[in-house]
Amino acid sequence: MLSGAFLAGIIAAAINIWLAHRRSREEQCNRLRTAFAEAFATYAAYKEFPYAIRRRRTDAAPDERVRLSEALRDIQARLAYHVAWTAAESETVGAAYADLVQQAREIAGTAMKDAWRGPATTSDADMIIPTAIIDLRSLTPFEMSFMKAVRAHLDARTPWWAR
């Protein structure tokens, strides 16, 4: 026969183990959310470079070339890291992110080349860059595809009781 204290101890231990496991799953999910958000933020930083190049300082052109190329080099390295990490985490998310980055390199990369060839901004009015000059709207479907893949991946890792 089991004593009441022993039975209460078993139940308390089981509840604590279940709570610890649940907390661990929540922390893992939060880490994944953060990592996916960092991957998207790196992509977004890359996507902003055509604007940064257009808005470069004309009074310090050599310094601006170095500053912008070093910043771009850093972002390129982070993009490569996130492409590899997302592929290792999930084949589906990795493929969606790789597509997003590839399209960004084609579309934003072309816009960067055009920005280097074009004049830098020289007035406040030039800071508003119309879509006729830089148009990155065609990246939106790839952004949505990545977000959808991330959402599906996180939903699959979330237990039914936490949804």
Task: Find out whether 108 and 28 touch, Cβ atoms under 8 Å.
Answer: no
Residue 140 lies in a domain: yes
Q: What's the number of domains the chain is made of?
A: 1
Residue 3 lies in a domain: no
Residue 15 lies in a domain: no
Instruction: Give 113-147 pLDDT, tens digit per residue.
Output: 999 999 998 888 888 888 889 999 999 999 999 99
Mean pLDDT of the chain: 91
Q: Give the per-residue pLDDT at 9.
A: 82
Residue 101 lies in a domain: yes
**Would the pTM count as exceeding 0.85?**
no
Q: Give the per-residue pLDDT at 7.
A: 73
Q: Which domain holds residue 152?
A: 33-162
Q: Give the per-residue pLDDT at 77.
A: 98
